Amino acid sequence: MPGVCVIVAYRPKPGKEDGLLELVRSRVPTLRQEGLVSDRAPTIMRAGDGTIIEVSEWKSREAIDAA
């Protein structure tokens, strides 16, 4: 069964950019340990306005609901 590709945008509060980026980077490995996301590495980018974009693949819609 194919996974579910998800694109998320996070807008950090002023002065919280580094903390948010660290949290985003640790999110998928944690979800992977729970068996909710695929083995595909997430793509994490930063837009010109500071928004952090994450593209990841969940195993299923049920996995998203379980999270």
| pLDDT tens column, 12-40 | 999 999 999 999 999 999 999 999 999 99
Does the global pTM surpass 0.85?
Answer: no
Domains and CATH numbers, the chain: 4-66 (3.30.70.100)
In this prediction, residue 2 carries a pLDDT of: 79
Quick one: which of 19, 23, 22, 24 has its CA closest to 7? 24
In this prediction, residue 1 carries a pLDDT of: 59
Q: Which residues pair with 37 in a beta bridge?
A: 58
Residue 22 is which amino acid? E
